[in-house]
Structure 1
Amino acid sequence: MHQQYDVLIMGGGLSGLTLAIQLKKKAAKLRVLIAEKTAHPVPEAAHKVGESSVEIASHYFENILGLKAQLDKELPKLGLRFFYTQGDNLDISKRSELGPNDFPAAKSYQLDRGRFENALAEQCLQLGIDFQDNCKVTDIVLGKNQHQVTLVHNGQESLVQTSWLVDSTGRMSLLKRKLKLAKSAYHNINASWFRIDHEINIDHWSQKPEWQGRVKSSRRLSTNHLMGKGYWVWLIPLSSGATSIGIVADAKIHPYAEINTFARAKVWLQKHEPQCAQIIDQHLDKFQDFLTLKHYSHNCKKMYSADGWAITGDAGVFLDPFYSPGSDFIALNNGFISDLIIKQDSGEDIATRTEQYEKLFRTLFLAFCPVYEDQYPIMGNAKVMSIKIIWDYTLYWSGAALLFFRDKFCDLAFMEIAATSLQQIYQINLQMQGFFRCWAEIDLSSAEKSDIFINYSNIEFLQQLNKDLLKDQNDTELQQQLAQNVGLIRELAGEIVTEACVGAPELKAYAPGVPVSYSRYLSDVFDRLR
C-alpha cells in the first residue's frame, strides 16, 4: 500500500470492483486503491442480494468492462417469469404465467455473487489496481481533491492521501453518514432471503405435459416470481448449484414481523406459497444462511462532488428488487463517476458537469419510483399486473436501456436533445401507473382464471424493442428511434386504457389523458386474459 492515490474506493463489493475496472480500462495511469474490510477470496456462496442482472447491467459487465469470459461461467438468464396466485397455490400448473419461452436477443445473467466478485478482484489485480482486503476505514478527513483516509490493514494503521474518494461500502454508507446525506424513501417494502445449497428446479413442480411443453428452455433459468397481493417470492438459480429464495412484501399487507426470521418466513411461505414451502422443507439440511432488511429502499441527498468524492451502489440509493435494477443503477452511477474522475484528471473543470450528472442521476431514480411505489397490491391481479409488466418492459427498453447501450448518458449535448422525449415518457408513465392501481381495484375478473400462459417472446413489438438495443445507430437515427418509441408508448397507453374501460366502464373517470387507440399490440394478450 502506498501513501498517495488518485482514487481510493472504500468497499470491494460489486460496485467498487466494477468502478475500479472501468477506471483502469479508461485511464491506465490512474493509481487506484480498493480498501475492502472483509477477507478475500469471499466464499463462493457469499450471501449478497443482487444475483439477477438485466439488460443494462449485463451490457455494462460484458461490453464496457469486458467480462465476457467470466459471464460465460455464470448462468444465462431466461428473462423474468411471473406466476400469479390461484386457489391454494399448491399446483404451479394452475397458476397464470407470464414469461418467455426462449432467450431474448439482449443477454442477461444469474450471478453467483461470491464467485463473480472473486473473479473481479483477480481482474483488478491483473490491471494493476491495489486491492487490499482485511482493510478497515477508521477515519476520513475531506478536503478539496485532497482527502486523508486512515486505514487499518491486518492490524497496521496507515494514513493515505487521495484525490478522489468513492464510497461503495453498501449500507454502511460511510460518506453518507459522515456528510449527513441520508434521505428517506417513501417506498416501504421489506425483504427476507435465504439460500439452499440445492438446485430447486421449478420445472419439476408439475409433470403435466402441456405445462412442461410451453417453454423451450428451462424455467429454472428465469428469475421466477411467485406473486400474490402485496408480495412476491423470488427463486434464482446460481452457478454453484445453490438456489436463492427471497420474500419481498408490502408492510401494510404483510407485516415485517411475519418474515423477519427464518422460522417465521417458513410459516409465511406455508400460508401463502405452500408448494414452494413443501419443496424447501425437503432440503432444509442444505440450508445455508438467512438475511433480512426492513424498509430496504433508501435515497441520498447528493451523489457526486467536484471536490473529489462520490457515492455508488447501495451506499447511495436503492429502490426495489422486483425488476432486478440494482446493478443497473451501479452501471449508470459508475459511468458518471468514472467520467468525472477522468475528465478532472485530464485538466477539465468538472463543476458544471458534476451538477448535471447529479441532476440526471436523480431524475433517473425518480423516474423509476412510480413503477414500484404503491404498486404491490396489484401483484394479486393477474390481468392488470401482466399488462403493467409488459408496459414496464416497454418503457425500460424504449428509453433508459436504449440510451445506455448507445453510451449516451454522459453525452450531455445529446441528453439535452433527448430530454423532451424522456419527459414525455415519464409523464405518460406517471399517469398509467396510477391507472393500473385503479384498474386492479375495480376489475377482479382474473381472480377466477387459471392455467393461462402469456408468452412475451411472441409479443412482436416488445421483442423488437429488445433487438433494437443491439443495433448500431448514429445520433440522428437514435433521435428518430426515441421519437418513434414515444409514439408507440402513446398508442400502447391508449390501447390499454380503451380495453380496460370496455371491461370496466367506471374506469373512464380515472383514465389518463391519452388519445383513444385502436392499435392491436396486445390483442392476443387481452384475448387470453378475458
Structure 2
Amino acid sequence: MTKIAIIGNGLSGRLAALYLDKHLPGAELTMIDPDVPNKPIVGESTIEMTSQFFLSLGLGTYLEENQRHKYGLTYYFPRPAMDGDMEAPGAAGAMAEKGAMAETEAAAEASPVAGAGGGPDYILHEAPGVIRLPAYNLNRFTFDDELARRVAPLVRKVTGKVTEVEISDEPGGQQTIHVMDKAGETSTVTADHVIDCSGRARLLAKQMGLEQDPPFQRSSYWFRLAGFDRSILNGLNVDKPRHHCYDSYSVTHHFYGKGYWIWIIPMQGEDGEDLASVGVTYRPEILGEKAMNQDKMLDLLSRDHPRVRALIETGRKVDEARYYNYMYEARQYYDTRGRWFLLGDSGFTFDPAGSLGIAYLGHQIPQITSMILKAGQGMLTPAYVEAMEGHVQAELYKQDQLSQRYPVMDDPIKLSWTLVFNYMAYFHLFLPDYMTGAFLNGGVAKRTMKLLMRKPAEMIPVAYAFPQIMDKLSERAKEKGNGAEIIATAAHFHKAVPFNFYRGDNLKRGRVAAAYLYKRGLLRAKALRLLHWWREPSLWPMVAGQYLRTGGEWLLALLLVLRPRIYERPASKDPAMMSAFDPQYSFLFPEEAASRGRPGMGRPDGGTADRKPARAKDEAGQMPAGVTATTGNA
C-alpha cells in the first residue's frame, strides 16, 4: 500500500486529498496540520480549467447550488480624450459614428453617482456570450468548509506542527515526518511520498534551502465587502458590446492604473446575500506606495476610479488581509525520485491576475499523481520529473510577463490589446493542453518549457502585444484623439474565444493552434490598419516586416489545418515519458473513459495488469450505477 503524507490542511492539501483518493484508492493518506485558525484566504475567482478540475472531484452540484457563476473577465478601460474633446463626454455616440461597438448603459441614470462629475467613462471589454465550460466566483469560506467536510473521512488526521522531514536515500525507503502537538508531545509519521502543502510556511523549501527570490515583487491588499449598492457597478457609464446573455454584474471586474490593478469579485454570502471581494495588487516601486490599507486604496480610487470608491463607501468591510512583497519561488519543486513535492504556495506564489493560482493546482496535483503512479510501477525517471518541473518553470514565465505589464497598466491602448491576445492564447493553446491531458506528457511539457523559456530579470522587456505597433498607436492616440476607437477595435472576445469548445477527449489541438495563429495575424493586421500607414512612408519598413510575420503565421496555420498531427509530434511515445493516465484525458474523468471501454488510468504503456478498481463516486459518495474505473497498482 502506498503511503502519502500531506503537510497542510489548506486549499491545496484538501484538493490533493480528494484527487488522490479518487485516482489512488488503495493509498493511505495522512494529513498533518497544526489547525491554526484565521489564516488569510485568497483565490476566489475561477477559470474554466479550475472548474473542470472541481467537476472531476464531484463538486459540480455543490458549485451550481451554492456558488455563483462567473461569466468571464471584464476589463474597464478609461476612455481616452477624443479629438477636440479633452473631457471625453459623449463617448458612446462618437464611437458609434466610427463604426465601433457602441452602447451606453441606460442603467447609468439609475445610479446615484453614475455620470457624476470627475469620473471617467469606460470602454468595456467583456465576453459577448456564454461559453460551454462554466466558471464560478467562490465564497472561499463556505467552499473551503465544504472541502474539509468531504476530506475528513478520506484521511488519517494528525494534529501538530511538522518540525522536520527526514528524506531517505535508500532505494524504496520511506520518509519520516516529525510532528509536535500543542502539548509539546512528539510523534512520527512515515510515508513513501511527502506532499508539502504548508503554504507560505514553506516547510520543505526552507528545510532544504530551496528558497529563491523572484525577478519582480508584488504587494496586495484586499477585503470582503457586504451591504453595498451593486447598482453603482451596473450603472457605470460604459461603451460595451450589445448582448443579452447574462447579467454583467456576474463577472470578475478589473480596473487599472499606473503600477496597479483593482479587482471586484461578486460572490454569495453565507445566507445568500451579496458579498464581494475587493482588492488591489501593485508593484510598490512603480505605484510609489509601500504598505496599502483601505484609506490609501480609497485615495487611489478617488484619483483614478471615483465611482469604484463610491461603491465601496456604500458597504461595510467584513474582513481584510494584506501581503507586502509576497512573491517567492524555489529552486526545485519535484524530487527526481518522487520522494517529495512542493505544491501550490509551498513552492511559489502567483499574481492574482487571470485567476491562475487555483487553476495551476489543477495542473500540479495531476502531475504529482502521475509521478506517484509511475513510482509505484517502477517507471518514474528523472527525465519525466524534470519535464514536469519544466512545465512549472513555464508557468513562472507567465508570472514574469505579468510582472512587466504593470508599467503600462495606465495605457489603455497597450493593455486592451494585450489582454485580448492573452485571452486568445489561453483558449487556443493552454486550455486544450489541459483538457486533453497533453500537459502530462513529458514531450509536450518540454515543448511548453522551450516556448516559454524564462530569462533573467534584466532581460525581460515590458510585456505587451505587438510592441512596435502599440507604441505607435499609443503615441498617435495622444496626437489625434482616436484612442477610444483603438481600444474598441481590440474588443475581439467574440473571435478570441472558441465558444463551441467544451470537451477535450476528441480535440484536435493542431487545428485549435491553427486558429490561434490565424487570429493572431488578424489582430496584427487590424492594428496596422489603425495606423493609416499608407499615408506615412516612414512607417512602411516596419509595416512590411509586420505583414511578413502575419503571412508566416497564416501559412503555418494553413499547414496545421491540413496536417494537424504536426502539432502532436513533440508528444513522447516513450512509456517512461508518457502520462500515467491512459487515455490522457482520464486524469479528469476516468469514469467516462471506462464507460467507453478505455482503461481510465494506470500503466503508461496502456497495460491493465495489476490494476485495482477505482472508487468512482457521485456527489453523495456512492458508486454510480454501471460505472467502472481502473487504476494502476500503487
TM range (shorter): 0.7 to 0.9
Judging changes above 3 Å, is the alpha-carbon distance between structure 1 residues 314 and 447 closer, same or farther for their aligned structure 2 residues?
farther
Q: 1:470 aligns with which of 477, 500, 503?
A: 503
Q: SS at 1:344's partner residue?
A: helix
Amino acid at match of 2:156: D
Judging changes above 3 Å, is the alpha-carbon distance between structure 1 residues 455 and 293 closer, same or farther for their aligned structure 2 residues?
farther
Question: Does the 8 Å CA contact 2:132/2:501 hold for their aligned counterparts?
Answer: no
After TM superposition, the structure 1 = structure 2 runs for residues 8-47 of structure 1, keeping only pairs within 5 Å, are 8-38=5-35, 47=40
Distance 1:231 1:508 in 2: 35
Distance 2:466 2:226 in 1: 38
Q: 1:77 — aligned with what?
A: 70
CA offsets per residue over residues 354-400 of structure 1, 9 Å max, x none?
1221123213332x145313212322222332211110011111111
Q: 2:155 — aligned with what?
A: 129
Judging changes above 3 Å, is the alpha-carbon distance between structure 1 residues 353 and 146 closer, same or farther for their aligned structure 2 residues?
same
Q: 2:194 — aligned with what?
A: 165
Q: 1:385 — aligned with what?
A: 415
What's the % identity of the aligned pairs?
18
Judge which range, 288-297 or 320-329, deviates more: 288-297
Judge which range, 499-508 or 143-152, deviates more: 499-508
Aligned-pair Cα RMSD in Å: 3.8
Question: Does the 8 Å CA contact 1:167/1:310 hold for their aligned counterparts?
Answer: yes
Deviation at 1:447, TM superposition (A): 7.1
Question: Does the 8 Å CA contact 1:78/1:103 hold for their aligned counterparts?
Answer: yes
After TM superposition, the structure 1 = structure 2 runs for residues 322-471 of structure 1, keeping only pairs within 5 Å, are 322-366=353-397, 368-369=398-399, 371-413=401-443, 432=465, 434-435=467-468, 438-439=471-472, 442-445=475-478, 459-464=493-498, 466-470=499-503
Deviation at 1:90, TM superposition (A): 6.8
Q: SS at 1:357's partner residue?
A: helix
The answer to whether the aligner puts 1:95 opposite 2:122 as a matched pair is yes
Aligned residues: 499
Q: 1:250 — aligned with what?
A: 283
Judging changes above 3 Å, is the alpha-carbon distance between structure 1 residues 472 and 237 closer, same or farther for their aligned structure 2 residues?
same
Judging changes above 3 Å, is the alpha-carbon distance between structure 1 residues 514 and 188 closer, same or farther for their aligned structure 2 residues?
farther
Judging changes above 3 Å, is the alpha-carbon distance between structure 1 residues 359 and 458 closer, same or farther for their aligned structure 2 residues?
closer
Judging changes above 3 Å, is the alpha-carbon distance between structure 1 residues 265 and 24 closer, same or farther for their aligned structure 2 residues?
same
Judge which range, 16-25 or 507-516, deviates more: 507-516
Judging changes above 3 Å, is the alpha-carbon distance between structure 1 residues 122 and 232 closer, same or farther for their aligned structure 2 residues?
same
Amino acid at match of 2:497: Q
CA offsets per residue over residues 237-278 of structure 1, 9 Å max, x none?
122132110012232331233x52233233333333222222
Question: Does the 8 Å CA contact 2:218/2:327 hold for their aligned counterparts?
Answer: yes
Question: Does the 8 Å CA contact 2:393/2:449 hold for their aligned counterparts?
Answer: no
Question: Does the 8 Å CA contact 2:7/2:33 hold for their aligned counterparts?
Answer: yes
Deviation at 1:236, TM superposition (A): 0.5
Q: 2:43 aligns with which of 27, 32, 50?
A: 50
Distance 2:240 2:452 in 1: 42
Amino acid at match of 1:129: V
Question: Does the 8 Å CA contact 2:223/2:279 hold for their aligned counterparts?
Answer: yes
Judging changes above 3 Å, is the alpha-carbon distance between structure 1 residues 271 and 502 closer, same or farther for their aligned structure 2 residues?
same
Deviation at 1:102, TM superposition (A): 3.5
How does the TM-score come out when normalised to structure 2?
Answer: 0.70
Q: 2:94 — aligned with what?
A: none
Q: SS at 2:548's partner residue?
A: coil
After TM superposition, the structure 1 = structure 2 runs for residues 142-291 of structure 1, keeping only pairs within 5 Å, are 142-144=167-169, 145-153=173-181, 155=183, 156-198=185-227, 201=230, 204-206=233-235, 216-240=245-269, 241-257=274-290, 259-283=291-315, 286-291=316-321
Question: Does the 8 Å CA contact 2:176/2:190 hold for their aligned counterparts?
Answer: yes
Q: 1:104 — aligned with what?
A: 131
Amino acid at match of 2:124: E
Deviation at 1:449, TM superposition (A): 5.7
CA offsets per residue over residues 439-496 of structure 1, 9 Å max, x none?
57634449776699959997443232x533535426xx334443x1453255246425
Q: Which runs of 5+ in 2 are unaligned?
A: 80-86, 89-112, 555-634
Q: If each structure's helix is expressed as a fraction of its own residues, which one has the higher value?
A: 1
Bigger Cα Rg: 2
How does the TM-score come out when normalised to structure 1?
Answer: 0.82
Q: Which runs of 5+ in 1 are unaligned?
A: 522-530
Amino acid at match of 2:29: V
Question: Does the 8 Å CA contact 2:70/2:135 hold for their aligned counterparts?
Answer: yes
